[in-house]
Amino acid sequence: MQANLTFQKIINLKIMNSVLLSLIYFSLISCSSKNDSISVETDLQVEPIELPALRKNNSFTTPYRVLKTTIKDESAFDVKYGNTDLSIGYVLRYYFYTAIDLESEENVLISMDQSSFDMPENTDGINLVRNVISVISGMSFGSVEYREFVNKYFEGCIDLSKINGSCVTPSVYEPVCACNGFTYSNRYEAECDGVVVFKEGPCD
């Protein structure tokens, strides 16, 4: 009888040990899986999302500009650029040698000589790109790029000699639709941008 009890205790101990080892094993696997998922999430947060420049200007050590933007969705740059068949992202990346870094802490343009230009915050893709191109058009190499782009797509619409980056326009809102496909707050704003053909009212 005593022998049977001792034998039963040994079996019970073995069963308990087996269950305990199984619990420890599953706990370790669970912790390992959680750590792996945390590691992957961390890696995803660190990885920058970049839309590379589609052309390079080898006159500079850094042969392209970089637009760092708080915009997270790259589809924001798929919008059509005015009256062209090109997306705003393509225009910026190809004609103006500019890469786009999404999910950045601020909107800032880094030029090829590494100068920084603050861009407006809380803006959509098209207004951001228009602001960036406006800044680039005032640069030495950028002015050549802008002239080539305008001559190719907006000849007879924009007179480069009439562009005035320092003109002051009234704040009145009397929108006009310019021949380049963009809406300006008023005719004076359009004229400061060199636009020579426009009609009253916003663009459709």
Where are the domains positioned within the chain?
1-42, 48-153, 158-204
Average pLDDT score over the chain:
85
Q: What is the pLDDT of residue 44?
A: 46
Q: How distant, in Å, are the alpha carbons of 17, 71, 123 from that of 102? A: 54, 6, 14
Contact 77, 125 (CB under 8 A): yes
What is the model's pTM?
0.75
Contact 160, 145 (CB under 8 A): no
Confidence of residue 38 (pLDDT cuts 50, 70, 90): very low
- Summarised one tens digit per residue, pLDDT across range 94-113 is 999 999 999 999 999 999 99
Question: Cβ atoms within 10 A of the Cβ of 185, count?
Answer: 16
Residue 189 sits at the vertex; the CA angle it makes with 186 and 191, to the nearest 5 degrees, is 110
Q: Buried b / exposed e across 132-163, counting CB within 10 Å, b at 16+?
A: bbebbbebebbeebbeebbeebbeebbbeeeb
Confidence of residue 84 (pLDDT cuts 50, 70, 90): very high
- Summarised one tens digit per residue, pLDDT across range 161-191 is 999 888 889 999 999 999 999 999 999 999 9
Output phi, psi for 117, to 5 deg.
-130, 120
Structure token pair of residue 118:
């603050």
Quickly name the fold that domain 158-204 has.
Answer: Wheat Germ Agglutinin (Isolectin 2); domain 1 (3.30.60)
Q: What percentage of the chain reaches a pLDDT higher than 70?
A: 76
Output phi, psi for 49, to 5 deg.
-105, 110
Structure token pair of residue 177:
């639709």
- Summarised one tens digit per residue, pLDDT across range 125-149 is 999 999 999 999 999 999 999 999 9
